[in-house]
Chain A
């Protein structure tokens, strides 16, 4: 993250909720020199020269962590770059993100990682960690120099965007992980089963005449890799779960003692393949695809019972020309950083499918699987705060986007709940433009 002024402010009278730290109540959140100095009784924090924010009626959460973001740098800066992508993250209340390595060219060498970290120090609004690819150039054949990549600062490894099709290569990566460490994050998909598929295989694909990607394309690979991880004692993270069978596969693997974590995206929790009927690639085409409602319900159940420990956006920016084409020819992926919390609050918390505390806990759950500390509001912690107005209603995209790309899966939707201010890594990284701040005299 770019060096800046350490936050020095007081959020007065905020409703503070940090389930992981056991905090739930009204407090004055006192932030001094970029750290949470104190959670004082409401109205008790001293008036001093620090900025004072009237947070009455607002919620302060530990800021969120997104373990799955595509920053498109290097090579596709017309879609996103480190500056715009981290600005989008800050606007969504995130205090940390994990950037995927499927750039052009992919992040496969120590020099690539070093260059990206250097740029992040100059441009990023929130701390960014980088993954490197598991295989050279994501070709699925030879391992990258995983140990050197780790020394250069790669947090872990992923060929995300593509599966590691070869079981032999996957096994070698898990063996080598014992030497170099670093979680291996997996895009689970059997390319043989997915074939030319462009959406979930089911009644909607049958009606539209689109080639389907069956649920088992994902779950069979999870089962394969969980078995390999158990055999080699490896540590894996399953990315963007989409199918009921996949939740079951992770549950079974964990019950068998495999070191496996997993994530789910807001769009898989909020939408189903019915969304594809309009053939709007900008909002509804991504991989893994939106699946049936039974899958969506299984994902929500998995989120609730802890099988799925974190939410990840799989923020995947694309240029208009990649999306304004017939569905089958369009690029896969949707943006999600700026809307993740608001969409899940609107679609899951407001109707009562999950409670607010669970959402807040899972929005921060993506740090620990990669060996990072979960953002916390406990006094003494680095200040990482998302200040939200849960009653605010807004329409996605009405004021444009912080992201360079506009392929938001919920573009045009009215959402309830909005991030007003984000403190990330001890610095104020975002304020909603219309959020006026009362500064103490």
Chain B
């Protein structure tokens, strides 16, 4: 694996390999010193054109836990603000010879373009409404820890599927791992033709009882102004997952951030069925595994262990 651009590119075996690696990092996370030297001397650029709390911070912490040097570029306050094109920004950052570029961008295909323009391994941290592969991997990781296998499990993805990159990546990942997926939401928020990805479509929660896992998507407030739903109240009446609708043996997931009282009721969030906190924890170890898989597992360019004999200095903190 040279880049992580989409879930679609990964086989089941590749997904499993990343998740097993993540398990080993989970073990590191329980130690007092949570840092490993794997990526010492290598540079990871985090390039975020959209705001993000979870994804951005967990990728950055993952890079630091692996001892990489981190350059964090946010669109606001950078040359991007001054109208620099993505291509020129990538060319500029490439001067630092980064081992990896983690990019989030509001447009589909941005990560692929960066991969075309740069020598670095590229991680798609969300491209438009297209894909969010690291989210899908951490969700599969979380579910496998709880369920063992996803084979034959029924997963309902509920909410604003139309505007959700998480829905698309998870739909593909869950199916790759053997689960059966139903997407559910009002017809205005389910994209025409989505069933050709192999899922079922429902516009009602009537059959929600059949689900082993209920994966709820964030309802964005601005969708209401665009008349995708008449009101949040009506949306909640039909699609909010609350303690009445959520069965005791069903697992509840959400990619965050949650709108309490809209797509999820407060008691559902805090219920024992909820895996939301585990998803966040999984985010860190899965993202460490992704960086490791891309930069260290293949051993393409190991960090220099000592002076190279050409007069260049030994990297700081390494034995001479």
Q: Give me the interface of A with B, judged by CB distance under 8 Å.
A: 201-212, 214, 279, 321, 324-329
B191 cross-chain contacts in A, Cβ below 8 A? 201, 205-206, 212
Q: Which residue of B lies closest to A324 (CB)?
A: B87
Given contacts A327-B108, A328-B108, contact A209 B192 (CB under 8 A): no
Instruction: Give Cα distance in the complex from A211 to B165, angstroms.
Output: 12
A326 touches B128 (CB 8 A): yes
User: Chain B nearest CB: distance from A280 CB in Å?
Assistant: 9
Partner of A203, one of B106, B108, B165, B196: B196
Instruction: Give Cα distance in the complex from A203 to B194, angstroms.
Output: 6
B168 touches A210 (CB 8 A): no
B193 touches A321 (CB 8 A): no
User: Chain B nearest CB: distance from A437 CB in Å?
Assistant: 43
B109 touches A279 (CB 8 A): yes
B85 cross-chain contacts in A, Cβ below 8 A? 321, 324-325
User: Chain B nearest CB: distance from A329 CB in Å?
Assistant: 5
Most buried by A among B87, B128, B168, B192: B128
Instruction: Give Cα distance in the complex from A24 to B6, angstroms.
Output: 54
Apart from A326-B86, A326-B110, 15 more pairs, CB < 8 Å? A201-B192, A206-B191, A206-B196, A206-B197, A207-B194, A207-B196, A207-B197, A209-B129, A209-B165, A325-B107, A326-B107, A326-B113, A326-B127, A328-B107, A328-B128
Instruction: Give Cα distance in the complex from A326 to B128, angstroms.
Output: 10
Instruction: Give Cα distance in the complex from A355 to B105, angstroms.
Output: 47
Instruction: Give Cα distance in the complex from A326 to B110, angstroms.
Output: 5
Instruction: Give Cα distance in the complex from A211 to B189, angstroms.
Output: 12
* 4 interchain residue pairs of minimum CB distance: A326-B107, A209-B129, A279-B109, A203-B193
Partner of A210, one of B86, B110, B128, B197: B128
A279 cross-chain contacts in B, Cβ below 8 A? 108-109, 112
A210 cross-chain contacts in B, Cβ below 8 A? 108, 128-130
Q: Which residue of A lies closest to B8 (CB)?
A: A207
Instruction: Give Cα distance in the complex from A298 to B72, angstroms.
Output: 51
Partner of A326, one of B108, B168, B192: B108
Q: Is B131 an interface residue (CB 8 A)?
A: yes
- Show 30 residue pairs from A and B whose CB-CB distance is below 8 angstroms, ordered by the A residue: A201-B191, A201-B192, A203-B194, A205-B191, A205-B192, A205-B193, A206-B196, A207-B193, A208-B108, A209-B130, A209-B131, A209-B164, A210-B128, A210-B130, A211-B129, A212-B192, A214-B192, A321-B85, A325-B85, A325-B107, A325-B113, A326-B105, A326-B109, A326-B113, A326-B127, A326-B128, A327-B107, A327-B108, A328-B107, A329-B107
B192 touches A202 (CB 8 A): yes
A321 cross-chain contacts in B, Cβ below 8 A? 85
B193 touches A206 (CB 8 A): yes
Q: Which residue of B lies closest to A292 (CB)?
A: B193
Instruction: Give Cα distance in the complex from A204 to B192, angstroms.
Output: 10
Q: Which residue of A lies closest to B167 (CB)?
A: A209
Instruction: Give Cα distance in the complex from A187 to B82, angstroms.
Output: 34
B87 cross-chain contacts in A, Cβ below 8 A? 324-325
User: Chain B nearest CB: distance from A230 CB in Å?
Assistant: 31
Question: Which residues from 192 to 232 on chain B have a C-beta closer than 8 Å to any C-beta of chain A?
Answer: 192-194, 196-197
Instruction: Give Cα distance in the complex from A326 to B109, angstroms.
Output: 6
B105 cross-chain contacts in A, Cβ below 8 A? 326
Instruction: Give Cα distance in the complex from A210 to B130, angstroms.
Output: 7
Instruction: Give Cα distance in the complex from A206 to B128, angstroms.
Output: 13
Question: Which residues from 102 to 129 on chain B have a C-beta closer than 8 Å to any C-beta of chain A?
Answer: 105-110, 112-113, 127-129
Q: Which residue of B lies closest to A327 (CB)?
A: B109
Instruction: Give Cα distance in the complex from A208 to B165, angstroms.
Output: 9
Instruction: Give Cα distance in the complex from A325 to B110, angstroms.
Output: 8
A327 cross-chain contacts in B, Cβ below 8 A? 107-109
Given contacts A208-B108, A279-B108, contact A325 B128 (CB under 8 A): no
B113 cross-chain contacts in A, Cβ below 8 A? 324-326
B194 cross-chain contacts in A, Cβ below 8 A? 203, 206-207
Instruction: Give Cα distance in the complex from A328 to B112, angstroms.
Output: 13
Partner of A207, one of B106, B127, B168: B168
A203 cross-chain contacts in B, Cβ below 8 A? 193-194, 196-197
As a 0/1 sequence over residues 130 to 146 of chain B, the CB contacts with chain A under 8 angstroms (1 = contact) are 11000000000000000
Q: Which residue of B lies closest to A195 (CB)?
A: B226
Instruction: Give Cα distance in the complex from A325 to B116, angstroms.
Output: 12
Instruction: Give Cα distance in the complex from A306 to B50, angstroms.
Output: 50
B127 touches A206 (CB 8 A): no
Q: Which residue of A lies closest to B168 (CB)?
A: A209
Instruction: Give Cα distance in the complex from A21 to B106, angstroms.
Output: 55
Q: Which residue of A lies closest to B111 (CB)?
A: A326
B165 cross-chain contacts in A, Cβ below 8 A? 209
B196 cross-chain contacts in A, Cβ below 8 A? 203, 206-207
B107 cross-chain contacts in A, Cβ below 8 A? 325-329
Instruction: Give Cα distance in the complex from A342 to B130, angstroms.
Output: 35
Instruction: Give Cα distance in the complex from A214 to B193, angstroms.
Output: 12
User: Chain A nearest CB: distance from B219 CB in Å?
Assistant: 17
Partner of B128, one of A202, A207, A209: A209
B127 cross-chain contacts in A, Cβ below 8 A? 326
Instruction: Give Cα distance in the complex from A37 to B86, angstroms.
Output: 58
Instruction: Give Cα distance in the complex from A235 to B112, angstroms.
Output: 46
A206 touches B192 (CB 8 A): yes
User: Chain B nearest CB: distance from A244 CB in Å?
Assistant: 15
A204 cross-chain contacts in B, Cβ below 8 A? 193
User: Chain B nearest CB: distance from A214 CB in Å?
Assistant: 8
Instruction: Give Cα distance in the complex from A325 to B108, angstroms.
Output: 10
A207 cross-chain contacts in B, Cβ below 8 A? 168, 193-194, 196-197
Instruction: Give Cα distance in the complex from A212 to B197, angstroms.
Output: 16
Instruction: Give Cα distance in the complex from A328 to B165, angstroms.
Output: 15
A214 cross-chain contacts in B, Cβ below 8 A? 192
Instruction: Give Cα distance in the complex from A206 to B105, angstroms.
Output: 19
Q: Which residue of B lies closest to A209 (CB)?
A: B129
Q: Which residue of A lies closest to B132 (CB)?
A: A209
Instruction: Give Cα distance in the complex from A209 to B172, angstroms.
Output: 13
Most buried by A among B87, B107, B108, B131: B108
Instruction: Give Cα distance in the complex from A146 to B77, angstroms.
Output: 49
B108 touches A202 (CB 8 A): no
Instruction: Give Cα distance in the complex from A201 to B106, angstroms.
Output: 19
Q: Which residue of A lies closest to B127 (CB)?
A: A326
Instruction: Give Cα distance in the complex from A316 to B129, angstroms.
Output: 28
Instruction: Give Cα distance in the complex from A363 to B2, angstroms.
Output: 47
Q: Which residue of A lies closest to B110 (CB)?
A: A326
Question: Which residues from 15 to 72 on chain B have a C-beta closer than 8 Å to any C-beta of chain A?
Answer: none
A202 touches B193 (CB 8 A): yes
Instruction: Give Cα distance in the complex from A328 to B105, angstroms.
Output: 11
Q: Which residue of A lies closest to B226 (CB)?
A: A195
A206 cross-chain contacts in B, Cβ below 8 A? 191-194, 196-197
Q: Which residue of B lies closest to A211 (CB)?
A: B129
Instruction: Give Cα distance in the complex from A206 to B87, angstroms.
Output: 27
B130 touches A208 (CB 8 A): yes
As a 0/1 sequence over residues 157 to 170 of chain B, the CB contacts with chain A under 8 angstroms (1 = contact) are 00000001100100
